[in-house]
Structure formats: C-alpha cells, structure tokens
Amino acid sequence: MRMVWLATIVAALATAQAETEDDKGTFGFGRTPTEAEIKALDIDVMADGTGLPDGEGTVAKGEELYYQLCASCHGVTGTEGPNDVLVGREPREGFPFATTTGLSRTIGNYWPYATTLYDYTYRAMPFDEPGSLTPDQVYSLVAFLLHKNEIIAEDVIIDKNSLPEVVMPARDRFVHDNRVGGPELR
C-alpha cells in the first residue's frame, strides 16, 4: 500500500516536471536554426581573425572608395571630420589620453586591433547605406586607413591572413577593469 502511494507521488512529480522542462532541464521552446541562417547573421570578426571572409583589398582601391564613400563624413585626409577622426599617430609617446584633454582617438593612436576596423566597417558603414560593402571593398578601405595611419606599407595586400598579423600601435595599452567596489577608489 505504502509502495503504491509512493509510486503515485513519483508519477505526479514526473508529470509536473514534463509540463515545464524535459530531462535536460529545458523547455524546448524556439527552434533549431539552419546553418545558412546562422551564417547569414554571424558577421563578427574576432581579434585572431576568426570570421574574416575570403577576398582581399589594396591601398589604391581603398583610396578610391574612401573619397567616394567616406570623405564627406571623415574628411578628405581622415582628420577633418565632422565625424570621427580616423587618421593620426600623434602623440607618438606615452599614450597620454588621461592626462591631456582634447586628443583625438584615432585608428593609429588608439585602436588596439586592426580586425575591429574590418568588423565595424562591414557591419555599420557607410553611414548612408550601412552594411552595403562587399568584403573586397572593406579589405581595401581597411588597407587604405592602415596605410594612412603609417601602420602598413602602400603595397601590402590585406586579406584574412594578413589582417590579424597587423600589430596596432596601441595594442598593449588596454587593461581589464580593476575596480572592485569597496572604499578604495581606482
């Protein structure tokens, strides 16, 4: 009798469980995406180059595209604005962005990873037609901007192999957050 009673409880519990969660502790809501669906959305590029597509670009092609698509917001030389200043290596010593006010944070003096330039340009630029550039066009624009910032030579081809190898001037300037709360200010 007692066994039957226990079995009833166990069965009731199992039923309650099945109504919300399966044996993995999941609900089973949503659906499994196809590989194509994931690929269409998965546009990010990581610092080690993961996610960079096939294709390549040159400084010369990038210069042409820059004047056509970018100069109206970023200036003919990448320094005039009105939007973000893209070009500039000064100040070359010391990374004094905290101690000095009014410094522009450019690709050449502040950005730690060249891959970020590809990722951002591909996903968000140009302003009037975001997300419209082909990988070849983005590689060329990246090549041009790296060259204007005196980071690569004029004849370097930028592609998925060469881009992650580019060492940016500010590469070692970043530290993870060390604020931990408590009375000590950091």
Identity of the residue, 14 or 181, whose beta carbon is nearer to other proteins in the bound complex = 181
Q: How many CB atoms lie within 10 A of CB 87?
A: 21
Q: Residues 25-64 vs other proteins: string with x where CB under 8 A?
A: xxx-xxxxx---xx--xxxx-xx-----------------
Task: Check binding of 23 to other proteins (CB under 8 A).
Answer: no
Residues 74/125, Cβ–Cβ less than 8 Å: no
Q: Output the smallest distance, CB 72 to other proteins, in A.
A: 15
Residue 178 interacts with other proteins (CB under 8 A)?
A: yes
Euclidean distance between CA atoms 48 and 113, whole angstroms: 9
Q: What DSSP string runs through 110-143? A: T--BHHHHHHHHHHH-STTSTT---HHHHHHHHH
Which letter does DSSP use for residue 168 in this model? P
**Which member of 97, 145, 153, 166 binds other proteins (CB under 8 A)?**
97
Cis peptide before 91 (omega within 30 of 0): yes
Size of the site for other proteins (CB under 8 A): 53
The neighbouring-strand residues paired with 57 are 158
Residue (5 or 28) nearer to other proteins, CB:
28
Judged by the rule CB under 8 A, the positions of this chain that interact with other proteins are 24-27, 29-33, 37-38, 41-44, 46-47, 94-103, 105, 107, 110-113, 115-116, 119-120, 123-124, 130-131, 173-179, 181-183, 185-186
